């Protein structure tokens, strides 16, 4: 039986003010309100006068289950802007038009959303959306610089088709899932991983037999992608080194795609001197064809009846000397028998600070599923067996341990 999909509500107990200003991308703010609400946040939507020309309050009310605000001085509630500002854990403005950016940069308080921005101490993210020429204009660029100086975060704009079929340069608002990821990073605040550099590997490698065939494995990369996304949310700069995977690049993460174990080794080795942590979630092939054919093997020519294999480099071992002193290294092990004993051996043999052990025979664990049941092993610490949980939550547990290990390494003996 497939394990139940546990709904995850990472924003539970958090309040987000979602400011919507008057651009065509306002329709996408409806999806943002929905995703934030599904993730557990209480979403207070503030619509500007311009936004009301594009979207109606009822759509947001139905999705957030909360009243939507449109006026600085609603009947009988002159302190609404102060209350919204004080209660917010984060403010997200999506879309943020050129006009609104100008008002915010000038510190205006001429409508509810602008007043909330002045009154809040919560972190603020702007998701600009406008025609590409309006975005490139020196006045808008100056306003964006000013907003960044104030300490506001800017997410986007992206390059892509704009309204009226126009535009080549940046101007398009980033997508709702990316906005939600930025809201998540903002809600985390400057955590222990802020300013840290984390390298994560994910997915399986492909070792060529000939130009069209390869030896590979069933890894989807999901576990590593979740670790990369969670590390970015916690404030780290993240390099994700991934074998072929159908998953989209996580927001904010630098993605390097590789195919073979050797390519993975080279990228990891080059990145390690600047890294505070390496999380090796990739399912690296242990063997590769010793002599990959330069041309496709044809069956008329006898095809191939035997493949001579040779060992690939063990990325964790081969890159040991490139590690920075005090950096934290996490390995994964997929076992089918004696998982914990085998894991303890790997922990020592590979010089790891943490090993995440999966038993591939457990239902709901391993490849091609969204859940995992793992045991965390660390030198000098008791084993921690976690219950079956979504891989996104396993990623958070792993990063909790990485943060502890980094804090410990920073304390002089």
Give catalytic residue positions: 217
Compute the least distance from the CB of residue 294 to ligand CTP, in Å: 24
Return d(Cα 314, Cα 24) in angstroms, integer. 51
Q: Which of 85, 226, 332, 406 binds ligand CTP (CB under 6 A)?
A: 332
Say how far apart CA 127 and CA 62 lie, in whole Å: 23
CB of 398 to ligand CTP, least distance (A): 12
Cβ proximity to ligand CTP: between 124 and 394 the closer is: 394
Which CB sits closer to ligand CTP, 23 or 343?
343
Total residues interacting with ligand CTP, rule: CB under 6 A: 14
Give the shortest CB-247-to-ligand CTP separation in angstroms: 17
The pairs formed by 395-399 with CB atoms below 8 angstroms and a separation of 24 or more are 395/223, 395/226, 395/227, 395/229, 395/230, 396/230, 398/227, 398/279, 398/330, 398/354, 398/356, 399/193, 399/227, 399/230, 399/231, 399/234
Residue nearest to ligand CTP (CB): 315
By CB under 6 A, residue 261 contacts ligand CTP? yes
Between 64 and 312, name the residue whose CB sits nearer to ligand CTP. 312
Judged by CB under 6 A, which stretch of 29-37, 95-103, 120-128, 310-318 contacts ligand CTP?
310-318
For ligand CTP, the binding residue among 198, 280, 328, 406 (CB under 6 A) is 280
Task: Name the one range near ligand CTP by CB under 6 A: 41-49, 169-177, 331-339, 377-385.
Answer: 331-339
Question: Which H or E element spans position 232?
Answer: helix 222-233
Which residues are CB-neighbours of 17 under 8 A, at least 6 positions away?
Answer: 43, 44, 45, 46, 84, 85, 88, 90, 91, 92, 116, 120, 122
- Judged by CB under 6 A, the stretch of 4-12, 223-231, 280-288, 397-405 that binds ligand CTP is 280-288
Query: Which of 113, 118, 126, 140 is CA-nearest to residue 51?
Result: 113
Residue 334 interacts with ligand CTP (CB under 6 A): yes or no: yes
Cβ proximity to ligand CTP: between 210 and 314 the closer is: 314
Taking the least distance from each CB to ligand CTP, the nearer of 54 and 287 is 287
User: Hey, is 170 helix, strand or coil?
Assistant: strand
Q: Nearest distance from residue 397's CB to ligand CTP, in Å?
A: 16
DSSP element (H, E) containing 256? strand 254-257
Report how far apart, in Å, the C-alpha atoms of 178 and of each of 84, 125, 131, 248, 249 are: 24, 12, 20, 11, 10
Q: Which is nearer to ligand CTP, 66 or 350 (CB)?
A: 350
Both structure tokens of 286: 């242990």
333 near ligand CTP, judged by CB under 6 A: yes
Q: Does 272 bind ligand CTP (CB under 6 A)?
A: no
Q: How far is the CB of 185 from ligand CTP (least distance, A)?
A: 26
DSSP assigned state of 53: T
Identify the three-state secondary structure at position 15: strand
Distance CA 173, CA 179 (A): 9
Near ligand CTP in 337-376, by CB under 6 A: 346
Q: Is 286 in the site for ligand CTP (CB under 6 A)?
A: yes
- Name the nearest CA neighbour of 35 among 64, 4, 1: 64
- 331 forms part of the interface with ligand CTP (CB under 6 A): yes
Identify which of residues 51 and 279 has a Cβ nearer to ligand CTP in the complex.
Answer: 279
Q: Which residue has the tokens 């101007």?
A: 171
225 binds ligand CTP per the rule CB under 6 A: no
Applying CB under 6 A, the residues found at the interface with ligand CTP are 261, 280, 282, 284, 286, 312, 314-316, 331-334, 346
């Amino acid at each position: 039986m497939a394990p139940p999909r546990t709904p995850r509500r990472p924003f539970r107990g958090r309040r987000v003010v979602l400011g919507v200003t008057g651009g065509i991308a306002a329709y996408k703010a409806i999806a943002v309100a929905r995703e934030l609400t599904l993730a557990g946040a209480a979403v207070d939507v503030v619509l500007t006068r311009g936004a009301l020309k594009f979207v109606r309050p009822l759509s947001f009310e139905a999705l957030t289950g909360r009243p939507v605000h449109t006026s600085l001085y609603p009947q009988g509630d002159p302190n609404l802007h102060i209350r919204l500002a004080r209660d917010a854990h984060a403010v997200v403005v999506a879309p943020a038009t050129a006009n609104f950016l100008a008002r915010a940069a000038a510190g205006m308080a001429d409508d509810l959303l602008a007043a909330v921005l002045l009154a809040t101490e919560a972190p603020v993210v702007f998701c600009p959306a406008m025609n590409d020429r309006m975005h490139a204009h020196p006045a808008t660029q100056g306003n964006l610089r000013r907003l960044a100086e104030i300490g506001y975060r800017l997410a986007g704009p992206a390059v892509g088709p704009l309204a009226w079929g126009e535009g080549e340069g940046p101007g398009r608002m980033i997508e709702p899932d990316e906005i939600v990821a930025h809201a998540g990073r903002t809600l985390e605040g400057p955590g222990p991983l802020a300013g840290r550099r984390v390298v994560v590997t994910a997915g399986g490698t492909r070792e060529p037999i000939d130009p069209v065939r390869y030896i590979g494995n069933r890894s989807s990369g999901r576990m590593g992608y979740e670790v990369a996304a969670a590390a970015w949310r916690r404030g780290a700069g993240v390099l994700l080194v991934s074998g072929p995977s159908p998953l989209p690049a996580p927001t904010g993460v630098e993605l390097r795609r590789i195919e073979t174990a050797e390519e993975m080794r080279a990228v990891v080795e080059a990145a390690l001197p600047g890294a505070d942590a390496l999380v090796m979630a990739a399912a690296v092939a242990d063997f590769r064809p010793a002599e990959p054919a330069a041309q496709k093997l044809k069956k008329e020519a006898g095809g191939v009846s035997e493949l001579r294999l040779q060992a690939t480099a063990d990325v964790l071992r081969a890159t040991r000397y490139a590690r920075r002193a005090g950096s934290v290294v996490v390995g994964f092990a997929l076992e089918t028998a004696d998982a914990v004993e085998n894991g303890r051996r790997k922990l020592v043999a590979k010089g790891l600070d943490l090993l995440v052990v999966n038993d591939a025979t457990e239902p709901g664990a391993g490849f091609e599923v969204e859940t995992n049941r793992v045991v965390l092993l660390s030198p000098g610490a008791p084993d921690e067996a976690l219950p079956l949980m979504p891989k996104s939550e396993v990623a958070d547990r792993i990063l909790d341990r990485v943060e502890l290990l980094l804090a410990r390494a920073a304390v002089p003996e």
